[in-house]
Every structure is written in structure tokens, then in C-alpha cells.
DNA sequence: AGCGAACTAGACCGGTCGGTCAAGAAGGTT
DNA sequence: AACCTTCTTGACCGACCGGTCTAGTTCGCT
């Protein structure tokens, strides 16, 4: 699906994406029908299928552009920083802040990972983030700044901590984004801090 | 829903739960219809509604009993162990091994967290696990074995690492459960191991 | 003003959904 | 054998699903 869109058309399309994102995030993808979306916007069903080939296509589009946006933010946050450990930290903070600011999308990501139709698309996107992180982790290992362990596993672990703490503390809104970022960074840098 | 069940009835019920769990895990909760379940078992639809009041009730029952089972396994793994740090480690290992061995259920948990209908039930169950862990973490802090940080956040972080690494390495079957457990324990105990 | 492209409304379609129900088979107890 | 409870069948129901389509309106351009 790809049409020539006038400014008016682009805005409609954006409207549909925004509203659908919210509904998907609050009610779930399956329970939200196309009729719900167009009714909520007060437009006819034809509008939806003018801009999107299917409900599924819309959802995948939301996932793709969101993942791209998050990665961009992370890259902007670390550009020009020499210290690899510092780059990891800034990457974590940028990621946490993006996910906290786009909680709707975070929820969509969580769901998308659970259904085979979307899992592939999600895994691909996440793998990109992990590869990004692996570069810095490897550098940190080479420089002897952190012990030599599988950098990919470390990157996934970081992602896991970030997602979990945001999920708990944003949805339970008992912490703001910077506080969560502090907690995540702290745990990722030294874990429980057990002396062994 | 609760009926007097003969042994035969109990087995039917278990059959339904087993098969539905697998279908829910592979195809998703919504895409799996009640008709799919009974057809897959070669029985009539009435059978399903003889044992369960609704599709939703069945799903919640699966979640409840699974969470209980996982917690039991964790408790059995740490009973009689004096060292709180060791208890945390054994709890992590037991949790990881349970989730790896019951990957179907792990996927269901992942989905259940994303839909408002089931999120409450899931959160409650997870909170219990966290409270369990918090007890040992507090003790470890008091004994000076680990630095004094919010034990609840630590517990959630541990849960996040466990879920993420199992998700990645079991579904991509490139590691077995004990290896994953090692990796999780390692990360949780000392994180990236940054010297600060 | 006129025309084609962009956009919109909403009735409509076939299919599927979760759930019901009447009828009867199977099994245990007396 | 008679009888009651447990269990099973599958046709059926109304609701709703994603998606189509036709008839039209609005807009930008010449």
C-alpha cells in the first residue's frame, strides 16, 4: 500500500496510526476492530482501507517505524562519545527514556513478540539494537574495562532489565523515566554487586 | 465452573488444558478458537463447555495453576539453605529451569501481560515471586553481602533478565537450560562488572 | 469553469467467533 | 433392570469480524 498523498491525506494517515496505536496498546491488537478505529475517529470504513491494505499492515508499519525511531534516538545519544562503557550507559538511558515516553509502543512491542505473525519482525528489530550494543561491549572488553563474557548475552540481558523495569515502574507510575534509567544502569553495571 | 468429576472426567479436563495450552502458545490466544481446540481433540463443542464456563476462564485457570507450580518449584529449590545470596541464586536457577522446561507456559505468560483482561492476574502472580526474592535480598543486604539498594527493583531486574534470556536462547534453541541459568546468574550477580 | 485524482461514507458480504441447547450415550449404584 | 448423574454430540444462534465496493464529495491544477 503506497499512494500519492496530499497534505490532508498524510494527516489522515497519521491520525489513523495515532489512534490505532492507542487502542491497540490499551485494548490489545485483536480486541480492537477496524470498526472500533474508524468509529473512534468518526470516519467511514473506506477511509481505513484507502490508507492501509489491511489491519495487519497497519500494525507492522507501526512496529517498523517505531523501532527505527527508537534506534535513531539511541544513536544520536551516543554519537561523538569515545568511551565505550559510557556509550553503553548513554544507550541504555536513551532507550529507557524512549520506551518510557512511548509507553503505548512499548506495550505493542511486548504483544508483537508473542504472536508468530509479528515475532519475526520484532526479533529482527531487537537484534539490530543488540548488534549495536555488542560493538561497544566488545570494545570495552578489548580495553579491559569489563570482564570477557559473551557480549551478545550481555546485550540481551540489558534489554531485558530495561523492558522489565519500565513495565513495572511506568505502568505502576511510581518512578519517572530518569529514575528508572538510573536503576537500570546501576543494575546493568554491577548487578547485585556480590563480592565473589 | 466446578463439577463433580469422575476419573474419566478429570482426564478429559486435563486433555483440554494440555491441548489448549499448546495451541495458545503456538498460535496465540485470540487466533485459537474453541472450535480449533475441540476439533484438534476430535470431540464436540459441548465437551469444552461441560468443563469450562468460557474460553477466558480456561486461560485464567492455566495461568493460575502454572504460576503456583513455578513458585512451588522455586521454594523447594531453596528450602534449608541458610545463605541468602545462595538462596537467590538457587531461586534464579529453579525459575529459569522451570520456564525453559515449560516454554509453552512462558509464552502464555508473555501474552497475558499484554492484555488488560489478564494483566492483573499476571501482575499478582509475578509480585508474589518478587516478594519472595525481596526477603532474601533484604537479608543479604543486612548481612552486608550485597550493597544496600531497593530490593524490589533488584528482584524485578532479575526477573527481567531471566525472561529475556530464556526467550532469546530457548526459542532460538542455541543454549540449554543450565547454560542459560549460568548466564542469568552471572549477569545478575555482577552485571557487566564495570570497575567504578 | 472543468476535470481528474484524492478522498470519504457506509451498506454489504462471506465467514468465523464464543456460546447454547436438546437429545442421547455411557457409567456407576441400587 | 431401572435410574440418576456424568459426559458427549453437533446443529444452531446472534454478534461481530476483516474486507469490498459503489456512489459520491472535495481538492488541486490547468
Which residue in B110, B164, B194 is closest to A189 by CB distance? B194
The CA distances from residue B90 to A169, B127, B152, B175, B178, in Å, are 26, 19, 18, 19, 12
The residue behind cell 537500570 is A184
Distance between A190 CA and the closest CA of chain B, angstroms: 4
Q: Does one domain contain both A160 and A75?
A: yes
Is residue A129 in a domain?
yes
Any idea what the CATH number is for the domain that residue B93 is in? 1.10.357.10
Other beta carbons within 10 angstroms of residue B118's beta carbon come to 20
> Residues B102-116: pLDDT tens digits?
999 999 999 999 999
Q: Does one domain contain both B85 and B140?
A: yes
Q: Does one domain contain both B86 and B166?
A: yes
Last-in-domain residue among A53, A76, A96: A53
CA B22 to chain CA mean position, Å: 15
Is residue A162 in a domain?
yes
The residue behind cell 483482561 is B117
CA geometry: angle at A182 spanning A178 and A186, to 5°?
170
The span from the CA of A88 to the CA of B36, in Å, is 46
The span from the CA of A128 to the CA of A115, in Å, is 20
Show residues, CB within 7 A, near nucleic chain D. Answer: A 6-8, 30, 32-36, 45-46, 49, 53-56; B 3-6, 8-10, 12, 42-47, 49-50
Q: Does one domain contain both B102 and B38?
A: no
B3 CA: nearest nucleotide by C1': D6
Cβ contact B87:B78 at 8 Å: yes
Q: What is the DSSP letter of B60?
A: H
The span from the CA of B196 to the CA of B185, in Å, is 21
Is residue A195 in a domain?
no
A99 contact partners, CB below 8 Å, separation of at least 6 = A70, A105, A106, A162, A163, A166, A170
User: How confident is the prediction along chain A (196 residues), in pLDDT tens digits per residue?
Assistant: 778 899 999 999 999 999 999 999 999 999 999 999 999 999 999 999 999 999 999 999 999 999 999 999 999 999 999 999 999 999 999 999 999 999 999 999 999 999 999 999 999 999 999 999 999 999 999 999 999 999 999 999 999 999 999 999 999 889 999 999 999 999 999 998 887 6
Q: Does one domain contain both B3 and B23?
A: yes
B56 contact partners, CB below 8 Å, separation of at least 6 = B117
The span from the CA of A187 to the CA of A193, in Å, is 8
What mean pLDDT is predicted for residues B141-154? 96
CB contact under 8 A, A146 and B110: no
The span from the CA of A193 to the CA of A170, in Å, is 25
A96 contact partners, CB below 8 Å, separation of at least 6 = A162, A165, A166, A177, A180, A181, A184
Q: Does one domain contain both A113 and A36?
A: no
Query: Across chain B, what does the average pLDDT equal?
Result: 96
How many distinct structural domains can be found in chain A? 2
What mean pLDDT is predicted for residues B186-191? 95
Q: Does one domain contain both B173 and B108?
A: yes
Residues of B in contact with A103 (CB under 8 A): none
DSSP run (H or E) holding B18: helix B7-27
Return the pLDDT at B4: 85
Is residue B95 in a domain?
yes
For residue A49, the enclosing domain spans: 1-53
Is residue B196 in a domain?
no
What mean pLDDT is predicted for residues B140-165? 97
Last-in-domain residue among B25, B53, B81: B53
CB contact under 8 A, A145 and B85: no
What mean pLDDT is predicted for residues B102-131? 96
Return the exposure string of A45-67: e unless at least 16 CB atoms fall within 10 Å of the residue's CB, then b: eebbebbbeebeebbbbbbeebb
Return the pLDDT at A196: 60
Q: Does one domain contain both B86 and B159?
A: yes
Last-in-domain residue among A35, A53, A71: A53
Q: Does one domain contain both A83 and A13?
A: no
C-alpha cell at A57: 499492515
C-alpha cell at A2: 503506497
CB contact under 8 A, A194 and B85: yes
Return the pLDDT at A52: 98
Distance between B180 CA and the closest CA of chain A, angstroms: 9
What mean pLDDT is predicted for residues B60-81? 98
User: With left for phi above 0 and alpha for psi between -120 and 50, is residue A183 left, alpha or beta?
Assistant: alpha
> Residues B53-66: pLDDT tens digits?
999 999 999 999 99
Residues recorded for chain A: 196
Mutate: best of B90, B187, B196, partner A, most A CBs <10 A: B187
Is residue A196 in a domain?
no
CB contact under 8 A, A153 and B187: yes
The span from the CA of B90 to the CA of B87, in Å, is 5
Is residue A25 in a domain?
yes
> Residues A139-171: pLDDT tens digits?
999 999 999 999 999 999 999 999 999 999 999
Mutate: best of B120, B134, B150, B153, partner A, most A CBs <10 A: B153
Which nucleotides of chain C does any protein CB come within 7 A of?
5-12, 16-23, 27-28
Q: Does one domain contain both A39 and A119?
A: no
Band (pLDDT 50/70/90 cuts) for residue B193 is confident
Return the pLDDT at B196: 60
SS3 A152: helix
Q: Does one domain contain both B41 and B5?
A: yes
The span from the CA of B118 to the CA of A64, in Å, is 27
Q: Does one domain contain both A49 and A63?
A: no
Any idea what the CATH number is for the domain that residue B26 is in? 1.10.10.60
> Residues A179-191: pLDDT tens digits?
999 999 999 999 9
Is residue B21 in a domain?
yes
Amino acid at each position: 500500500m503506497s499512494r500519492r498523498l496530499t497534505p490532508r491525506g498524510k494527516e489522515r494517515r497519521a491520525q489513523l496510526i495515532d489512534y490505532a496505536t492507542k487502542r491497540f496498546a490499551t485494548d490489545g491488537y485483536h480486541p480492537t476492530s477496524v470498526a472500533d478505529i474508524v468509529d473512534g475517529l468518526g470516519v467511514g470504513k473506506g477511509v481505513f482501507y484507502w490508507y492501509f491494505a489491511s489491519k495487519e499492515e497497519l500494525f507492522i508499519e507501526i512496529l517498523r517505524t517505531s523501532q527505527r525511531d527508537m534506534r535513531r534516538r539511541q544513536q544520536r545519544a551516543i554519537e561523538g562519545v569515545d568511551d565505550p562503557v559510557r556509550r553503553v550507559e548513554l544507550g541504555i538511558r536513551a532507550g529507557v527514556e524512549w520506551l518510557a515516553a512511548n509507553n503505548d509502543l512499548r506495550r505493542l512491542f511486548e504483544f508483537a513478540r508473542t504472536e508468530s505473525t509479528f515475532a519475526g519482525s520484532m526479533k529482527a528489530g531487537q537484534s539490530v539494537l543488540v548488534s549495536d550494543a555488542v560493538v561497544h561491549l566488545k570494545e570495552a572488553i578489548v580495553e579491559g574495562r569489563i570482564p570477557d563474557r559473551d557480549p551478545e548475552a550481555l546485550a540481551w540481558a540489558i534489554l531485558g532489565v530495561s523492558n522489565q523495569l519500565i513495565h513495572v515502574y511506568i505502568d505502576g507510575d511510581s518512578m519517572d523515566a530518569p529514575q528508572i534509567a538510573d536503576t537500570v544502569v546501576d543494575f546493568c553495571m554491577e548487578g547485585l554487586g556480590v563480592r565473589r
